[in-house]
Structure 1
Amino acid sequence: MPDLPIDAWYCWVGLAAASLAVAGVAVELPTRPAPDAAAAADTVDAVAAASYPTTAEHPVDASAVRLDPHRLSLRNAGGTTHATFGFGPVVPVAADSRLQRVATGDPPSSVFDSPVAFARAVEQARERTESRDATWRQAPARIRITRVHWEGTNVTLVDA
């Protein structure tokens, strides 16, 4: 059986090519795990299922977030994960809106003139997020979830 001599040039070229292929695969492997969208959705569900007003925060290790009334997606260098809410729909709040002020702790009575105005703002936010596809946006360090009850309007606000 003929053996290849170790000093043959084509052996070294083949070994170099194989090494480059292995190095290329190793460089492309993610350096961190994908974010945990399921854990964040579980926190949202825990607040949404509460029968009393409550607030929770969930830290996220993501660079981007996509939120709609029924699901949450998180993305970072490690990949993208998705989770569906079991207790929904929730109301994603827009940045710098009056609903965001409520989601971050202001009582609805100090932000809105009446319970009717609050209910109208909630309905408009739901319609806005239902009528368009959710877009990716920069993720905050933590997601804030607030369950609010005010004069017949029971809603879960999600600030992400």
Structure 2
Amino acid sequence: MLDVAPGATYWFLGLAAASLVVVGVAADLPTRPPPDASAAANTVDALAASDYAGTATHPVAASAVRVTARSLSLRSSAGAAHATFAFGPVTPAPAESALAAVARGVPPSEAFDSPSALGDAAAAARRDARDAGWRPADDSMRVRRVNWGDVRVTLVLA
């Protein structure tokens, strides 16, 4: 007949508790990586570094976004990622503003009275973005480089 040592019961209970802890930690790990903020920032930099007007769209797999004149942050259930623009400053286009309309493709001459009005609106948007908070993200980010007169602006609509 087999006898179980009295200490074996405690070893078994300890091993079972440790196994439950390992399973709990593994179940809490994110199943995917955080959003790729660097790739999105590279899209912005590609246009910001150019001397020519242009437009680009980048998919955003995030639930929230924060754009400042110098950086971009993306957040999802898997975590947050941050990237700094190499070229800039860029101009975050507030939703439902004349800058957002220009970022979507409206000619700047239709949205603003003059190049200086565009420049003033861009400067104000950059100032306001210093304290930018998280806001819901769209499925994609639009970037538009606008050259109008002496005004050169890179608009980011996310």
The offset of 1:55, in angstroms, is 0.4
Unaligned ranges ≥5, structure 2: none
Q: Which residue in the other structure is 1:151 paired with? A: 149
Q: 1: CA distance between counterparts of 2:98 and 2:26?
A: 48
- Is 1:108 the counterpart of 2:111 in the alignment? no
CA spacing shift, 1:13–1:107, aligned 2, 3 Å: same
Offset from partner CA, 1:89-127 (integer Å, 9 cap, x none): 000011100100000000011111222322221121122
Alignment of 1:7-156 (within 5 A): 8-130=8-130, 133-156=131-154
Offset from partner CA, 1:127-156 (integer Å, 9 cap, x none): 2223xx221111111111000011111000
SS state at 1:40 partner: helix
Q: 2: CA distance between counterparts of 1:116 and 1:43?
A: 26
Q: 2: CA distance between counterparts of 1:67 and 1:152?
A: 25
Unaligned ranges ≥5, structure 1: none
Q: 2: CA distance between counterparts of 1:128 and 1:10?
A: 62
Q: 1: CA distance between counterparts of 2:60 and 2:6?
A: 53
The offset of 1:25, in angstroms, is 0.7
Report the residue type matching 1:150 in the other structure. Answer: W
TM-score (norm 2): 0.91
Q: 1: CA distance between counterparts of 2:129 and 2:147?
A: 21
Offset from partner CA, 1:29-79 (integer Å, 9 cap, x none): 111111111111111000111111000011111111111000111111222
**Matched positions, count:** 156
- Cα RMSD of the aligned pairs, angstroms, is 1.9
